[in-house]
Structure 1
Amino acid sequence: MKKHLSRVLPLYVLLLLFTIFATSDATVRRRDYTIPTTNLELLKPLTPITRKEPQDVYLNLELSYTDLAPDGYTRKVWTANGQYPGPLIHCNRGDRLIINVTNNLKDPATIHWHGIFQLGSTWYDGVGGQTQCPIPAGVSFIYNYTVGEQVGTYWWHSHYLAQYVDGIRGPLIINNPDDPYLGQYDYEYVLTLEDWYHVESHNLVAMRLAQGYEAFNPIPDAGLISGRGQYNCSKAQSGAKCDSNNMPAIYTVTKGKKYRFRIINMSAEAFFFFSIDQHKLKVIEVDGVDIKEIELSVLPIHIGQRFSVIVEASQDSGSYWIRADIPKQCILNRNGTINNNSDIIHNSNITGILRYDDASNDTLPQSNKFNDDWYKKLSPCHDLDINLIKPYEAVAPPQKVTDQFNISIMIYGDSKHTTKAYINGQSWVPDLKNPSIMKIMDQNISATEFPINANAYMYDTEGGAVEIVIYNQNGGDHPFHLHGHNFFIIGMGSSGSPDASQYNLVDPPLRDTVTLPGDGWAVIRYLINNPGVWAFHCHIEWHVELGMVFQLIEMQSKLQQLKMPPSVEALCQPGYQHTKRLAIPFPDDEGTTITPGGYVIPNSKGSTKRLAIPSPDDDNGTTITPGGYVIPNSKEGSTKVKRTTERNIKYTTKRNAWKW
């Protein structure tokens, strides 16, 4: 009998495994037309966080290449944990995030936490050339910071070259246990808006920066709602794998219930008009700040901006289009523009579906888009009227300014016929091997001694206030995002010059991303209370690559008194490009164990030891010193980093009009 069982048991096991995998595959095929699927997490309601006490949250983001088809067109996608969009990070006010990023790409990478102030941790802001050296290929690095008192809707993305355009981006939600609107909605959803390209970003950047190229930014191939879109496969290249019937993002609601939608524009180029047919939107949050509610039908949202809206499922049961329209005025195009035959020029209405749970799954919505007076008054590419946005709790901006800067932005061709963006006449160039934070904290170099192309502006008045007047000398709109702070928008205009007598010094909006109108201006103020190196840049990613970036060095004297973690310093050590391991220091000792696979397991007491995270092909390529530094060994086979940007492409076509 035992002999019989020993022969038969393996057959039963094989049969069981076959059944499991066959069932799993069938399930996937039923729920989505495209294999492999994109991240389904965003199509489910957020799991409520019921606790109020802060805690440590341990996460792993493994960067790698994965073939996916977000819009039905299969391409190599830069992913975190094999997903697109990347994993949703959901935490509570006051939590500490300990995020292990393993870079399995062929290029270096960084991760920026968009909208997070990084109080006392500027070195974890994730900007290559400013707050850190990039994480080399084959290396792991831990970002370890607290979200403090911040709450609301944020996101994370690569801040190295244009990597986030290829997929390294995802939502970050901070729960507010004392949300003033908590009783006014039943469930929460996260919804992301993205433009999408089929050509890898490093090639697009190379074409945009090519000598002789005088047209506009690359035009997207498609738009996505929560990582899903529908590409017209008749436009696909011969031999490409493409499915025109790609499933859209479908959000399910129950009649009579109310839903908070957290909306994030994670694009590289696209401005959207967002709406849900026959359902008004009650806006309650802007860029992480609770506001007094605004009811509207269509919501303008530019790159980097976030809104929370409450939607009541009060219509007849059925399906309704969720719309993310890209106004044609916001897609600059002319003969010679990269991808100027994109289908999105003719079909810029990106759609998802709001479906009542008792409605049929077999029919598409027959609903019509809003065309009311509110929609007719909206200006394409422009922000929601700043006079409508009022903080939920009244907060007055600083009345007295101690440090004031005038910033002028332009785009034009240099002497070599390469288009560049300029801040006060200077195009930003990152120092990826010796970033600003290292110069200031490790080498005691003042920001006043930085090279002119660092675009560094310094203020050191603790307890003072900054005012920045930004003049747009360019006809296009530019969504400018500030790291390390949010700010009061005390004035804005589409023409002329600021008039201080007209500034709103009582109840202006508080945001971290403001869209400069074409040929217009904006005036912002904020308190000086966060020592660090803070980027301020246009969030149109192609303009970042053209150099439309400057950095604000805040309280340099205080910053030099802080202690930078050894792991951050190690990224910039000579020979770091040959590293196979990187030491991960934690604040305290003996609190976690890091497994050979790189997972972080909290121990029952204390905190952690400094441990190395092995890369998948670890072959003892480095030695870790007791101080947490990485010393490359001499053995062959060490990982080398090669930048893939192809900057030697030249355009021979001659055109006019450099300035636009």
Structure 2
Amino acid sequence: MGRIELFSILLGVLALSNIFTIHADSPDKYFDWNVTYGIRSPLGVRERVILINGKFPGPTLDCDTNDNLYITIHNNLAEPFLITWNGVWQRKNSWEDGVLGTNCPIPPHSSWTYRMQAKDQIGTYMYFPSTGMHRADGGYGAFNIHRRPVIALPYPVPAKEFTLLVGDWFHTGPQFTNGVANMLKYKLDNGIGMPTPDGLLINGLPSGTIFTGKARKTYLLRVSNVGIMASINIRIQGHTMKLVEVEGSHVLQEIYESLDVHPGQSMSVLVTLNGAIKDYYIVTSTRFMKKTRTATAILRYKNSKVSASGPLPVGPTYQVHWSMKQARTFRWNLTANAARPNPQGAYRYGGIEITKTIILGNSAGKINVNGLKKRYYGINNVSYVNPSTPIKLADHYNIPGVFNLKTSRDKSTPGPMVLGTTVYDLALHDYVEIIFQNNEDTTQSWHLDGHNFFVVAFGADEWNPNMRKKYNLVDAVWRSTIQVYQNSWTAVLAALDNKGMWNLRSAIWHRQYLGQQAYFRVWNNEYSVRTENIIPSNVLKCGKVAK
């Protein structure tokens, strides 16, 4: 055997050793989830919903940072199915992101295992179905990543944690017996407008959920907006909330009487039970809608014998400027650590040179497809179409004709809406300025997989380069989902340090379904496990890859 051949074999062995031992010092956790249909009555009307292990919402996934997770999904639905892990970075591992651009869906009546690591992050997140409109039927749940014991918290350890999954819900009507998702899909596919929500739920119920604690103790409430359309506001009768964490970032600990949470967003607050021993209302209500929907839960003091009563605490309704002012108060805690011991503020994001600016204008327009002219949504007048072959697999196997990098547009483009598979070609370690421009009269919400970004500014009307003078380049909050207010813009800075194919999407799900999404191809030419995990051995193949 020649020296060169032997050296190549040794390199291969070392590479494989690295692959199989890179997470060996972290615990393994296994989850077995059975996805089925079931009947529930979220708003008092029997409807078909998606259950996970018989639960609606699904089970809470709790893990510690750096845990290795093996989540087996048994798809007992009649349709292909995927779950995505909103806000979980999937470091070097977009293979497990659970969206149609990276994964073939799990076929009906079959199983597949996600293999991923909660690498270098802590915080409050969520999971939900990413296929079609499944998310409107449920199948969602909390995903909480806890610190390792050696990492200090920037606040006293709470007595207990409570999870609040808040989201809008829809009635199907008597003509639709196969769930909310099928009803909405039928409407959207046939050019019928998206209805407004019929109600709000907290942990699957419009009222009656109870959280019990002891007087004078402090509790951590993890709040996620799992809805598909409505921004919400949350407040607690007779109590204030101290905001401590937003999607993995520890923030300056300001006190709030109420908080806005937009679709796809998560946060954690501390609540101290310093009132009289009785029950209190937790109230959530929709924002920016003509008809306000409300859901309540109960904060119960242990040994309480007094039911919650009195008027519900009033929340904001249309006040857009109020919400924008509140959003500007969310600031990064520079002295606190996150998943690692070093302070968050050690990363001086404001001094990094911007390598690329992308202006993303949300678009809406009608396109004639197969004789039906209906409304689509898009980015810079391109409405995304999911190809039958996931673009990540097409890219890996060098399959032509699946996507075209020339489809992407870096700024708002006049003209009619067109269909396309938009992929932005970006270099690993690019530092990108993204401007979300919203010229519509409804508030939007946007999410980027695989990364967090610094939310450096909100502003009204049209963004222009002079607005950079107003950027917060010191302590902007670092998160993965951001609202863009009506007729306004939001500016973020993103360090693209995670190689892979990453979904950028509207978190308002009917807009995502009708094309308001794209992908960031974060890439370099180094084929090494140092920059990206190898393709999983259990990868599902479909479309052109299956041939």
- Give the TM-score normalised by structure 2: 0.83
Percent identity of paired positions between Structure 1 and Structure 2: 24
Show structure 1 runs of 4+ deviating over 6 A.
374-378, 573-576
Contact 1:441 1:559 in 2 (8 A): no
Alpha-carbon distance in structure 2 between the residues aligned to 1:381 and 1:227: 26
Alpha-carbon distance in structure 1 between the residues aligned to 2:537 and 2:392: 13
Alpha-carbon distance in structure 2 between the residues aligned to 1:261 and 1:107: 35
What one-letter code is carried by the residue in structure 2 that aligns with 1:549? Q
1:350 corresponds to: 295
The alpha carbon displacement at 1:164 in A equals 1.4
1:157 corresponds to: 128
The alpha carbon displacement at 1:571 in A equals 5.1
Within-5 A mapping of 1:468-479? 468-479=434-445
The alpha carbon displacement at 1:495 in A equals 1.5
What one-letter code is carried by the residue in structure 2 that aligns with 1:273? N
More strand by percentage: 2
- Shift of the 558–370 alpha-carbon distance from structure 1 to 2, 3 Å rule, reads farther
Deviation sequence 1:171-193 (CA, Å, 0-9, x none): 01011132424525211111110
2:381 corresponds to: 425
What one-letter code is carried by the residue in structure 1 that aligns with 2:35? L
Contact 1:277 1:367 in 2 (8 A): no
Deviation sequence 1:99-129 (CA, Å, 0-9, x none): 001100000001101101111210100001x
Contact 1:70 1:227 in 2 (8 A): yes
Residue from 172, 181, 199 that aligns with 1:201:
181
The alpha carbon displacement at 1:470 in A equals 1.9
Find out whether 1:76 has 2:48 as its counterpart: yes
Alpha-carbon distance in structure 2 between the residues aligned to 1:59 and 1:271: 31
Residue from 22, 33, 39 that aligns with 1:61:
33
1:440 corresponds to: 395
Say which SS state the counterpart of residue 143 (structure 1) adopts: strand
Within-5 A mapping of 1:250-649? 250-327=210-287, 329-330=288-289, 345=291, 348-360=293-305, 364-370=307-313, 379=321, 384-391=326-333, 392=336, 393-394=344-345, 395-397=347-349, 399-415=352-368, 416-431=372-387, 433-443=388-398, 445=400, 448-449=404-405, 453-460=420-427, 462-498=428-464, 499-555=467-523, 557-558=525-526, 563-570=534-541
What one-letter code is carried by the residue in structure 2 that aligns with 1:227? G
Within-5 A mapping of 1:84-99? 84-99=56-71
- Shift of the 420–447 alpha-carbon distance from structure 1 to 2, 3 Å rule, reads closer
Residue from 97, 105, 117 that aligns with 2:89:
117
Within-5 A mapping of 1:126-275? 126-128=98-100, 130-177=101-148, 178-181=151-154, 183-199=156-172, 200-211=180-191, 213=192, 215=193, 217-229=194-206, 248-275=208-235
1:44 corresponds to: none
Contact 2:92 2:499 in 1 (8 A): yes
What is the Cα-based RMSD across aligned positions, in Å?
Answer: 2.4
The alpha carbon displacement at 1:54 in A equals 3.2
Deviation sequence 1:344-370 (CA, Å, 0-9, x none): x3x62211111111112xx64114444
What one-letter code is carried by the residue in structure 1 that aligns with 2:226? M
Alpha-carbon distance in structure 2 between the residues aligned to 1:203 and 1:371: 33
Structure 1 segments unaligned to the other structure (5+ residues): 1-52, 231-247, 332-344, 577-660
- Shift of the 72–88 alpha-carbon distance from structure 1 to 2, 3 Å rule, reads same
Greater C-alpha radius of gyration: 1
What one-letter code is carried by the residue in structure 1 that aligns with 2:301? Y
- Give the TM-score normalised by structure 1: 0.69
What one-letter code is carried by the residue in structure 1 that aligns with 2:289? C
Deviation sequence 1:554-604 (CA, Å, 0-9, x none): 01534797521132144557779xxxxxxxxxxxxxxxxxxxxxxxxxxxx
- Shift of the 518–375 alpha-carbon distance from structure 1 to 2, 3 Å rule, reads closer
Contact 1:381 1:477 in 2 (8 A): no
Instruction: Tell me how many residue pairs correspond in the alignment.
Output: 483
Alpha-carbon distance in structure 2 between the residues aligned to 1:295 and 1:303: 22
- Shift of the 459–224 alpha-carbon distance from structure 1 to 2, 3 Å rule, reads same
What one-letter code is carried by the residue in structure 2 that aligns with 1:57? K
